[in-house]
Amino acid sequence: MPDEGAPVQGGGSGAPDDGDEASLENRIRRLEAIVAALDSDTLELEQALALFEEGVIHVRKAQEILAEAELKVEELIGRDGEEARPMESANGTDDD
């Protein structure tokens, strides 16, 4: 498994893995590394595009992980006899 703290280089992903098994925390760490590399202004266009594409994949997978966690929380609340209700987003509105 590649070192997630390693500097981001060229077209190689260096990601924990684009598969579904990467944890939310691993995806966030990888996204932070990608953002740092893109902010460095030392990448060529092809490298930057490859990292951007990888970042989009990680964001989408992270959103899926969070959506599944939200459903699980709602199910658990519902099982305890409480009425399950949609969770609010950070801005105070329902995500739907």
- What is the sign of the dihedral through the CA atoms of 15, 20, 26 and 27? positive
Report yes or no: 54 and 62 within 8 Å, Cβ to Cβ.
no
Q: Residue ranges of the domains in the chain?
A: 24-79
pTM over 0.75: no
pLDDT digits (tens, 9 = 90+) for 32-63: 999 999 999 899 999 999 999 999 999 999 99
* Nearest Cα residue to 4 out of 28, 25, 22, 30: 30
Q: Give the C-alpha separation, 27 to 45, whole Å.
A: 23
Report yes or no: 45 and 62 within 8 Å, Cβ to Cβ.
no
